[in-house]
């Protein structure tokens, strides 16, 4: 008695390609989310009477770690010391100073959380396209 397992072999092969195909779809989604978060944080800084200059220092970076770009896709958003000397006001703007003052710019976590449902929606669509 023989069993034709060619369909199963093909399915296993297709599943093996999913991580690489998914990484190719996820990286642009993460980059767009990073850009949107950056823009929200810049808008929050610009709305501050005393910390408008901080907006110039806010940027984002997308990094990929792992085998052939599969593994971790990291987006870092925040003040960059290379972009503006206003970077020095970062902690005071967000969290306040030791002698009072500051703490008037929305916590960056707020901007991230506002983007979260959009990110999850796009990630869901990317996964559904692969199945």
Can you give the pLDDT at residue 14? 67
Can you give the pLDDT at residue 13? 64
**pLDDT tens digits for range 14-37:** 666 677 778 788 889 999 999 999
Can you give the pLDDT at residue 20? 73
Instruction: Give me the residues of the chain with pLDDT under 50, please.
Output: none
Rounded Cα distance between 32 and 93, Å, is: 25
Can you give the pLDDT at residue 2? 67
| pTM, 2 dp | 0.81
Can you give the pLDDT at residue 127? 86
Beta-bridge partners for 75? 62
Can you give the pLDDT at residue 9? 74
Can you give the pLDDT at residue 100? 86
Task: Give percent above pLDDT 70 in the chain.
Answer: 85
Rounded Cα distance between 112 and 115, Å, is: 5
What phi, psi does 98 have (nearest 5°)? Answer: -70, -20
3-state secondary structure of 69: coil
């Amino acid at each position: 008695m023989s069993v034709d397992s060619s369909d199963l072999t093909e399915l296993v092969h297709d599943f093996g390609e999913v991580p690489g195909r998914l990484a190719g779809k996820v990286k642009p989604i993460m980059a767009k989310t990073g850009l949107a978060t950056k823009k929200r944080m810049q808008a929050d800084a610009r709305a501050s009477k005393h910390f408008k200059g901080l907006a110039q220092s806010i940027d984002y970076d997308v990094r990929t770690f792992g085998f052939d770009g599969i593994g971790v896709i990291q987006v870092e958003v925040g003040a960059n010391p290379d972009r503006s000397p206003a970077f020095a006001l970062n902690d005071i703007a967000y969290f306040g100073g030791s002698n009072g003052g500051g703490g008037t710019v929305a916590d960056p976590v707020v901007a991230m959380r506002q983007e979260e449902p959009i990110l999850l929606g796009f990630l869901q669509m990317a996964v559904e396209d692969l199945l």
